[in-house]
Amino acid sequence: MAYRAILPDGDIECSQYQERDHGVELYTDAEEFIAFVPYANLIAVLDEDRIGSDERSIM
């Protein structure tokens, strides 16, 4: 999984995500829908490939 959606009560791993008007949709490698997370409940979407790099951008 390439991304991690950080929520107040945990996190969800996904391979891809799409930004929508009211939140993000999370998907697997096979483009199967995992979850919809409203922006009000989303802390961040982390790119797992960039964790540890010097880039400060998370979303």
Three-state DSSP string of 2-36? CEEEEECCEEEEECEEEECCCEEEEECCCCCEEEE
CB 26 within 8 A of CB 39: no
> Looking at residue 49, what is its pLDDT?
73
Distance CA 51, CA 48 (A): 5
- For the chain, the domains span 3-48
Q: Kindly report, residue by residue over 1-58, the tens digit of the pLDDT.
A: 699 999 999 999 999 999 999 999 999 999 999 999 999 999 999 988 766 555 555 4
> Looking at residue 56, what is its pLDDT?
56
> Looking at residue 10, what is its pLDDT?
94
> Which phi and psi (to 5°) does residue 50 adopt?
-100, -5
Distance CA 28, CA 56 (A): 25
